[in-house]
Structure 1
Amino acid sequence: MALALLKFNKCCDNVRDGFFQAVLPFRFGVRAIVVDKAQVYGTHLRNDKEDFYRYFVRQMVTHDGRVLEKARLKIDGSGNREFRQELCRYLRENVRPGVIEDLRFVNSRQDTLIQLADMAAGAIARSYNTDARKNATRWRDQLKGKIENVWNFR
């Protein structure tokens, strides 16, 4: 049986509401980093999408409040093989030993946890766009009990 692909930005409001109502009984936590790209000073991070991605994945893993231990990290499988190998090497070299036990790139179409992460990230991102969107905090508010940390990168 194939899963339906759920992406926050492609769902209508009632699908988002239904999704968050359906997942709330389950045990999970959300940790996020919010980056205003205009506040990023390093030109290599501003101009190189892969460097930007590597750097902020590393930030999430290293600034974890010491909660990650032997983590099984799943990353949406975007990017070519060379990028994925480079990201694995980069994290091995820049993350304290014992934090990541397993790192996999998975297809979001076939992984419910990646879809949950996308929906949570979308809800958090939408909450920062209060000027252009009505109900900007609607879905973040629904996740309130599940959000452990949102780090506003400066």
Structure 2
Amino acid sequence: PYNFFYFGIIIDKNKLYGKGFKIKESFYKYTCSLVFENAKPYLRDAVIIIDGSGSKSFRMQLQQYLKKKMNQGDDRLIRKIKLQDSGKNNLLQLADIVAGSIARSFTSKTDSKLYRKVIKHREIYVQVWPK
């Protein structure tokens, strides 16, 4: 029943270096910024819903970070960021399924391509980083 499209990112952690990537919160914020940067042309006054895991302090930092990064100048790409429990939000559960399908497509399992193939027509862009 949902008309959705998705962006994703696959990160090869073995190729990362630098202190910031060792800090879970910094790594998460940076990853979010990469995905949102790719989605920028599709965002206009958007309401973003993110899984509300992590400390309250981190969640507030993430909201501020993304709004500051995405709402520059006259562009108001993000109106609001909501943090919700994925167990209580169907769209977050859908996002979890999409993320799992993308991740599985980069494994060597026999069905690795199957799940992503089912949703491929909804895919706008999946970035592999770093190259």
Cα distance per residue 1:51-83 (max 9 Å; x no partner): 000111111112325111111111101001000
Alignment check: 8 A CA contact 2:7 2:38 kept: no
Once residues 110 and 28 of structure 1 are traced to their aligned partners in structure 2, the CA distance between those partners, rounded to angstroms, is 19
Once residues 47 and 40 of structure 2 are traced to their aligned partners in structure 1, the CA distance between those partners, rounded to angstroms, is 17
Unaligned runs of 5+ in 1: 1-24
Cα distance per residue 1:70-109 (max 9 Å; x no partner): 1111110100100011111212222233111110100011
SS at match of 1:151: strand
After TM superposition, the structure 1 = structure 2 runs for residues 109-148 of structure 1, keeping only pairs within 5 Å, are: 109-130=87-108, 133-148=109-124
Instruction: Compare CA radii of gyration and give the structure with the larger one.
Output: 1
Unaligned runs of 5+ in 2: none
Aligned to 1:3: none
1:152 aligned to which of 116, 123, 128: 128
TM-score if structure 2 supplies the norm length?
0.90
After TM superposition, the structure 1 = structure 2 runs for residues 101-116 of structure 1, keeping only pairs within 5 Å, are: 101-116=79-94
Aligned to 1:38: 14
Count of aligned positions? 127
Alignment check: 8 A CA contact 2:9 2:126 kept: yes
- Give me the CA root mean square deviation: 1.3
TM superposition shift of 1:30: 1.2
SS at match of 1:79: coil
User: 1:100/1:121 Cα in 2 relative to 1: closer, same or farther (>3 Å)?
Assistant: same
Alignment check: 8 A CA contact 2:101 2:116 kept: yes
Alignment check: 8 A CA contact 2:40 2:77 kept: no
